[in-house]
Amino acid sequence: MIIILAQSATDSDIDELVTNLKDRGYGVHLSKGIEKTIVGVIGAHDSMKPMLAEQLSSLDYVERVVPILKPYKVVSKEFHPDKTIIKVRGVDIGGQKVIVIAGPCSVEGEEQIMEVAQAVKDAGASILRGGAFKPSTSPYGFQGLGEDGLKMMDAAREATGLPIVTEVMDTRDVELVAKYADILQIGTRNMANFALLREVGGVKKPVMLKRGMSSTIEEWLQAAEYIANQGNYEIILCERGVRTFETMTRNTFDVSAIPLVQGLSHLPIIADPSHSTGMHALVAPISKAAIAAGADGLMIEVHPHPERALKDGPQSLTPTNFSILMTELGTIARAVGRYT
Ligand code: PEP
Ligand code: MN
């Protein structure tokens, strides 16, 4: 439930309320907006809620107590009406600037990642991506370079100053990946791996949660709730397309998910035009559509030699094409009151 405080509530009233709730064993999330202060209460058992609501409503400085009826609470907009801005090494995700994350599908070697990192930085990207632990549909496919790949990402960050995002697939690797990554990526195949979600929920690093390829928006937000529920509120949602009957594209990009999620949650949402289409020729138009629909950012695969890429070459942009796209995106961003 959420407690909306009266305008007259003082700091000491707020402290008293928070202490009272914590002493009773509830999780408390304070959200001080410009107009209203909202206190989110987590962990109240359904049978306790009516009594708790009655007790809290009797306080002078409480305007009203509202139950959150949705299956996700902490990540809902009711819980935290202002948009969440996630800060990663000086980059704000969820603010006015549309953030572009770019890099290869997989780290293939030091030379490759350094070359792409420099190229995407020069083109205006804010964050570098690169997989070291790769989910592969085939057990015979490239599985990534593991910790060596993480070290190469670290070196690329050192050289360019770009923060890095990389995927973690196994609860046993969370500590290792968190040692190197600025943002932990949960891939589409693991969106409903609840043990993994809980594990990254306990880490003090932002998490990028991709939408499950067959997941509804409500299931996706509940997956985010698993992370937030552990105390990690720094979650970036990533729409990466869902499976439909269409076979020409790798997935079907759900553009409506962007404004829908923004109406339901305070978390930033970005789009992945690479995995959602599987085709480099569609990356530019889908990137533009995502920004026009209000996305807070994009994640785009870039490879210096897509024809030689170990993974996802057909959907990767060359550095030149990425640079052209970056210029075009500025115009779209400005048309919707943002910038790149
Ligand atoms: C990726 O971004 O590297 C990836 C594997 O994406 P997805 O989980 O969306 O397939
Ligand atoms: Mn990929």
* Structure confidence at residue 34 (pLDDT): 78
C-alpha distances out from residue 32 to 36, 80, 228, 229, 311, Å: 6, 9, 18, 20, 45
- What pLDDT does 61 receive? 96
Q: What is the pLDDT of residue 43?
A: 87
CB of 186 shorter than 6 A to ligand 1: no
Residue nearest to atom 9 of ligand 1 (CA): 188
Distance from residue 84's CA to the centre of ligand 2 (Å): 27
Does residue 210 line the site of ligand 1, with CB under 6 A? yes
Tell me, what's the pLDDT at 18?
A: 95
How many whole angstroms from 301 Cα to the centroid of ligand 2? 7
Same fold: 2-66 with 86-335: no
Residue pair 197/223 in contact (Cβ under 8 Å)? The answer is: yes
Fold of 2-66: Alpha-Beta Plaits (3.30.70)
Label the pairing between strands 183-186 and 127-129.
unpaired
Query: What ligand is nearest to the CA atom of residue 242?
Result: 1
CATH topology of domain 86-335: TIM Barrel (3.20.20)
Q: In the prediction, which pLDDT does 46 show?
A: 86
The kind and range of the H/E element at 183 are: strand 183-186
At 33 the pLDDT is 78
Which residues of the chain are modeled with pLDDT < 50?
A: none
Instruction: State the pLDDT at residue 269.
Output: 98
pLDDT of residue 23: 95
Q: What is the pLDDT of residue 35?
A: 80
Half-sphere exposure of 81 (CA within 13 A, CB side): 11
Pocket flag, ligand 1, residue 187 (CB < 6 Å): yes
> Where in the chain are the domains?
2-66, 86-335
